[in-house]
Amino acid sequence: MTLAIAGYFSFVLLKAEDKSELLIGEASHGHFQIELACSSCHTDAFGGGEVIQSACVDCHGDDLALAHDSHPRKKFTDPRNADLLEVIDARQCVSCHTEHQKEQTHPMGVTLPEDYCYHCHQDIGESRLSHQGLAFDSCASAGCHNYHDNRALYEDFLVENSGQPWLQVVARLADSNHAANQAPTRLPVQIADSQVQRQQHDTITGQWLLSAHGRAGVDCAGCHTQGSDMDQAEWLEKPGLAQCQSCHALETRGYLDGKHGMKLAAGFSAVTPQDSTLQFQSQALHEPQGCTSCHGAHDFDTQNAAVGACLSCHDDEHSRAFLNSPHGRLAQAAIDGSKPWAEAVTCATCHMPRMTHKNPGLNFAAATPGNLSLEKTVDGGASLGEGHEATENAVISVVHNQNLTLRPNEKMIRPVCMSCHSLEFAIDALADETLIRNNFSGNPKQHIESVDWAVKRVKH
C-alpha cells in the first residue's frame, strides 16, 4: 500500500498536468490563480523560511516600497525592538500570512487572530482618551490603521487635510492624445504582407487609422511581426503579449502583477472569468484575458476600455450600479459628448490611475519604486489615455495592476479619491460597505472619527 501511494504521488508530481492533489490546502484569494505554480513560492524544495521570504519579497517588495511600508522587516531586526519578537516574529511574511489555511484566513490574507495589533499597541488604548474603550480587535477597522500602508491615515496627514469641502474643484489635464505626438518606441516596419493586409481589410484599416497606433505611425507590421531581426521578420496572424510589451513595457509589468495577468506571469494560460469566485457576465466566463480583451484588436478604444470593457465582464453589485451612479453619469456624459472626456470618472479612473515616472530618460522596463510615484491621479476620466504623457521632469503612465489601489481600499484615498474629494469624505465613503455596493450613490451613513481625533490632539 505504501509503495502504491508513493507511486501514485510520484506520477502526479512528475507526469500529470493536474497537480492539485499535491496541494495541502486551498490557496488564499490573492494566490488562487497560481496555486499550482508551486515553484513560484517554493523555489527550493528543501529551502527554509528564508527561501519563502525571498519569494514573497520578489512579488510584493515593489508594492511595499511604493507604499513606504509601515512595518518593514528592519523594524523587527532592530535590537532596540527585540521585545516585539516575543509578541510576534514579523521578520517573515508567513508569520502573518500563512498560505493554504483558508479556514482561518481573514481579509488581506491575514492568518493571525484579528486582535494582532493590540498586543504591541495596547498602551495606545490606555494613554489616548480617544482610543479608550475601543474594541481590542478594531485597530484595522475601515478608516483606521493599515499594517503596511498607512500613509492616508498618518496623524500629520489627517490634520493637514482636515476641514476641506467634500467636493474639490480640480484642474484636470485637457483631453489630448498623448501618443499621437510621440515617436513610437518600436519603429514601423514595412513588409509586403503588411501592405496586402491593409488592402484586404478596409474595416480593420479604418479602425487602425483612427487609433493611437495609426496616428503615431505604427504600421500593421509593428504588431503583426515576430523575431528580433526586422529584416527577417515573419508575419504574425494574432499578436500576443510579447508584441504589446515591446512598446508598453511598464504597462505590461503592471498587468502581469495584477489579477488579469498574474496567471500568465506564472507560466499558465491566461485567466478566464470562470477561474474567479467573483460574479461575471455569463457570456464572458470562458474568455481568456489579454491586452485586446479590453483595448480591442485594432481600434484600441481607450474610452471603451475605461468602462465598457470592464462592464462586459464584471457583474457584481458594485459594477452593475456604476452606470446609474454619480461617477457613471459623468462617464456617460463624456461618452455622449456633452462633457469633455477629461471630466469623466470611469472604472479606470479609480482602479487604474496614472503613475508618475520621475525619470523620463529611464527605460520603462527597468522602472523601480524609487523613481515611481502613485501620489495623485492627474486627470480623472482621461486616466486611460493612450501611451505616456511626457512632462518636463516625469513621464506619466497608466497603472495596470489593480491591486495597487484595491485592497485595502484605503490605499485608494491619496492617489484617487482626493483628486476630487476631501480626505474626511473619502474615509467615510470607503468605510461604508453599502455605499461601495451601490457605487457611491449617496452620502456616507456613518462618520469615522480619525480626522476629528487627530485635530483634537494637535489643539490640546
Over residues 193-237, the pLDDT tens digits come to 555 555 667 888 888 888 889 888 888 888 888 766 656 678 888
292 within domain boundaries:
yes
Instruction: Print the domain residue range for 89.
Output: 42-95
Q: Looking at the predicted structure, is the pLDDT value of residue 187 above 50?
A: no
On whether both 121 and 190 belong to a single domain, the answer is no
Residue 425's pLDDT is 96
Query: What are the tens digits of pLDDT across the range 233-254?
Result: 788 888 999 999 988 988 999 9
Whole-number Å distance between alpha carbons of 358 and 90: 32
429 within domain boundaries:
no
On whether both 186 and 75 belong to a single domain, the answer is no
On whether both 64 and 103 belong to a single domain, the answer is no
On whether both 197 and 112 belong to a single domain, the answer is no
82 within domain boundaries:
yes
Closest listed residue to residue 322, CA positions, set 305, 304, 345: 345
169 within domain boundaries:
no
On whether both 251 and 344 belong to a single domain, the answer is yes
Residue 205's pLDDT is 85
245 within domain boundaries:
yes
On whether both 87 and 107 belong to a single domain, the answer is no
User: Residue 379's pLDDT band (boundaries 50, 70, 90)?
Assistant: very low
On whether both 87 and 105 belong to a single domain, the answer is no
439 within domain boundaries:
no
Burial 233-266 (b: 16+ CB within 10 A, else e): beebeebebebbbbbbbbbbbbbbbbbbbbbbbb
Q: Looking at the predicted structure, is the pLDDT value of residue 177 above 70?
A: no
Q: Looking at the predicted structure, is the pLDDT value of residue 50 above 50?
A: yes
What total number of domains does the chain contain? 3
Whole-number Å distance between alpha carbons of 50 and 48: 6
Residue 52 · residue 39 · CB < 8 Å? no
Average pLDDT, the chain: 83
Region 261-277: mean pLDDT is 92
* DSSP for 146-178, written as a single string: -SS--GGG-HHHHHHTTT--SB----PPP---T
Q: Looking at the predicted structure, is the pLDDT value of residue 364 above 80?
A: no
Residue 373's pLDDT is 64
On whether both 118 and 252 belong to a single domain, the answer is no
Q: Which of 140, 170, 199 delimits the end of a domain?
A: 140
- Cell numbers for 53, please give them: 521570504
155 within domain boundaries:
no
Task: State the angle between helix axes of 49-67 and 249-257 in degrees (0 to 180), rounded to the nearest 10.
Answer: 120
On whether both 240 and 352 belong to a single domain, the answer is yes
On whether both 212 and 308 belong to a single domain, the answer is yes
Q: Looking at the predicted structure, is the pLDDT value of residue 437 above 60?
A: yes
223 within domain boundaries:
yes
On whether both 57 and 134 belong to a single domain, the answer is no
Residue 372's pLDDT is 56
Q: Looking at the predicted structure, is the pLDDT value of residue 338 above 90?
A: yes
On whether both 106 and 129 belong to a single domain, the answer is yes
